[in-house]
Structure formats: structure tokens, C-alpha cells
């Protein structure tokens, strides 16, 4: 029996009481007080997924995004079931999913997909960022959304001088999700051409030892493992402005192929059940969004 389990055994029911009290304060807008009670719960039971999820929500409401991201990640690792469902209930994500569904079967450009709230609304969703990095997303609706975001992202990066610092964490997390899911998202000839253009630009920057826009690296990492870049190890010697890029390079992008396969196996989850069993409607929806296995 672990130390935390022994503490709970001595004080039965205290964890549930602390979490319920914290949740009530959070619902009432008293997020600092809620965070205090969630911290007390975690001091007794560090592996309580509900407490991690609760304090993450409190931190997000307080604008403490990095701490929210860490706790959401821990919650998903401890209890991965239902993470996609929770993400889809977030207002910014739900709104993007609705716009995508309303336009079906048309493919929305990125500016129409993100709507009036702005793409930053998705980038501010710490739960979404944690989900993209912590596990393979096994949800048809989210897969369609992520496919559409990647398509719009690479098009903008290839055709304009994209310098979007606010959305960089989302783009980097999307690249990590693509790495984890073996680049499952479908593409078409135009999208592949845009990705190739950004790839060539990145390779040229590496060859010339010139600055590489972080956006270009995130785009490239959304279509192939970064270890496939020439002189990939040299990327670790560069200074990157965003911690997500640095962590991504070390945890996935510049790994050797055997190590990267091991990383993917740790994240592996089944595909959505309808797709896995061959449901024709689900497969048609995936194909239209653009999701398919290669």
C-alpha cells in the first residue's frame, strides 16, 4: 500500500469531500479558493485524476495556462477514458466542431473554421493541448477538426509570412499529435505541395545555418518526423522561443526511428470504434474531412 493510500485509509471520505468543496467554489467563480482545496486533495492523493482535472480547470480560469496544461496532462495519463468527450464540451472546441459540421461536405478555410472567437481561443484551451500531446485522439469529430486545422495551417504557412505567436502552442501540439498517430490525417495533392514547400524551406535554412521560423518547424513536424530532416540533431543546439518546441524536439522530433516507434507505442490507442470495425458512414466521413490510414 502506498503512502498516499495509507493516508486516505486513515481519513476515509476526506478526498471526496475536498474535491466536492473545491468544485463548488470553482462553480461559484472562486477559483483561487478552489485551487487551494484541490491542492489539499492532491497532497493526500497525488494520483487522483479528478483532482488534477479540477485544479487544471481552476488554473485555466486564473490564466495560469502552463500549470493547467501540466495538470490536464497528468489527469489524462491517469484516466484517459473520456478525455475527448470533455474536450468537445469546451465552448471554443464545440463552436469549431459545429461550424465544421454545418459546412459539411465543404472544406472550410482556416479563417472560416475558427470563426469570430479567433484561432487563439483554441490555442488557449489547455485541455486540448494536453490531449494532443498525452494520447492518440480516438474521436471522429476531433479527428476531422484537427485534419481541417492542419490543412489550413500548412496553406497559410506556405503562402504567407505567418508569424502567429499566440497560436504556436496549438500548432506545436498538433505536430506532436501527428507524430503519435503516425501521420494518419488525410491530405490531398495541394496540401502535400504546400507541406513540401515548407519542408524545402526548412532544409535550406538548416543547410545555410540560418534562422528557422518556429512555424515552419511545426508545419514540417505535422507531416513527417523531424529526425528525417538532414542534420536533425543540430536543431537541439539552437535556441527556441517556445518550451513546447524544445520539449517536442527532445521527446519526439529528433529521436532515432527505433526510439520514436517506442514513443508511439506508449501513446497508442484504438481508432474510433466505428472506423475500426468498417462502418461505411464513418469511413466516408473520415475520407471527406480527410482522415484515412496510410
- Residue 11's pLDDT is what? 56
For residue 18, is pLDDT > 90?
Answer: yes
**Whether residues 49 and 157 fall in one domain:** no
Q: Which of 31, 56, 79 is the last residue in one of the domains? A: 79
**Whether residues 69 and 131 fall in one domain:** no
Position 274 in a domain: yes
The domain of 121 spans 90-289
**Whether residues 271 and 128 fall in one domain:** yes
List pLDDT tens digits, range 246-260.
655 655 444 444 444
For residue 275, is pLDDT > 70?
Answer: no
**Whether residues 180 and 270 fall in one domain:** yes
Position 129 in a domain: yes
Position 135 in a domain: yes
**Whether residues 171 and 70 fall in one domain:** no
**Whether residues 106 and 67 fall in one domain:** no
**Whether residues 108 and 65 fall in one domain:** no
**Whether residues 249 and 282 fall in one domain:** yes
Position 47 in a domain: yes
Contact 125, 72 (CB under 8 A): no
For residue 5, is pLDDT > 50?
Answer: no
Residue 277: strand pairing partners = none
- The total of structural domains in the chain comes to 2
Contact 291, 186 (CB under 8 A): yes
Q: Which of 14, 47, 79 is the last residue in one of the domains? A: 79
Q: Which of 31, 60, 79 is the last residue in one of the domains? A: 79
The whole-number average pLDDT for the span 254-278 is 42
Q: What's the alpha-carbon Rg for the chain, to the nearest Å?
A: 20
**What gap in Å lies between CA 119 and CA 28, rounded to an integer?**
28
Contact 114, 169 (CB under 8 A): no
List pLDDT tens digits, range 41-70.
999 999 999 999 999 999 999 999 999 999
Tell me the whole-structure pTM to 2 decimals.
0.78
Position 294 in a domain: no
- With CA atoms as reference, report the closest residue to 221 among 173, 188, 186, 268: 173
Position 85 in a domain: no
**Whether residues 96 and 13 fall in one domain:** no
C-alpha cell at 188: 490531398
The whole-number average pLDDT for the span 142-147 is 94
CATH number at residue 7: 1.25.40.10
Contact 223, 195 (CB under 8 A): yes
**Whether residues 66 and 152 fall in one domain:** no
**Whether residues 153 and 278 fall in one domain:** yes
**Whether residues 206 and 285 fall in one domain:** yes
Amino acid at each position: 500500500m502506498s503512502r498516499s493510500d495509507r493516508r486516505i485509509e486513515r481519513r476515509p471520505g476526506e478526498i471526496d469531500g475536498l474535491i466536492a468543496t473545491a468544485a463548488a467554489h470553482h462553480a461559484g467563480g472562486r477559483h483561487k479558493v478552489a485551487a487551494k482545496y484541490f491542492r489539499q486533495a492532491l497532497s493526500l492523493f497525488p494520483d487522483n485524476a479528478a483532482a488534477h482535472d479540477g485544479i487544471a480547470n481552476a488554473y485555466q480560469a486564473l490564466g495560469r495556462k502552463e500549470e493547467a496544461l501540466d495538470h490536464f496532462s497528468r489527469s489524462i495519463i491517469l484516466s484517459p477514458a473520456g478525455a475527448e468527450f470533455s474536450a468537445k464540451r469546451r465552448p471554443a472546441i464545440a463552436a469549431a466542431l459545429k461550424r465544421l459540421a454545418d459546412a459539411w461536405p465543404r472544406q472550410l478555410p482556416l479563417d472560416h473554421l475558427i470563426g469570430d472567437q479567433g484561432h487563439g481561443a483554441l490555442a488557449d484551451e489547455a485541455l486540448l493541448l494536453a490531449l494532443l500531446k498525452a494520447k492518440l485522439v480516438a474521436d471522429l469529430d476531433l479527428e476531422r477538426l484537427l485534419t481541417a486545422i492542419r490543412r489550413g495551417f500548412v496553406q497559410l504557412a506556405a503562402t504567407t509570412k505567418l508569424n502567429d505567436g499566440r497560436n504556436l502552442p496549438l500548432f506545436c501540439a498538433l505536430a506532436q499529435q501527428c507524430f503519435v498517430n503516425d501521420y494518419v490525417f488525410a491530405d490531398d495533392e495541394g496540401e502535400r505541395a504546400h507541406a513540401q514547400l515548407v519542408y524545402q524551406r526548412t532544409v535550406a535554412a538548416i543547410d545555410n545555418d540560418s534562422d528557422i521560423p518556429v512555424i515552419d518547424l511545426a508545419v514540417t513536424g505535422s507531416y513527417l518526423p523531424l529526425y528525417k530532416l538532414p542534420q536533425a540533431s543540430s536543431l537541439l543546439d539552437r535556441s527556441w522561443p517556445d518550451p513546447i518546441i524544445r520539449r517536442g524536439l527532445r521527446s519526439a522530433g529528433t529521436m532515432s526511428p527505433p526510439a520514436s516507434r517506442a514513443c508511439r507505442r506508449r501513446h497508442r490507442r484504438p481508432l474510433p470504434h466505428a472506423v475500426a470495425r468498417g462502418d461505411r458512414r464513418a469511413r466516408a466521413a473520415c475520407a471527406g474531412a480527410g482522415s484515412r490510414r496510410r
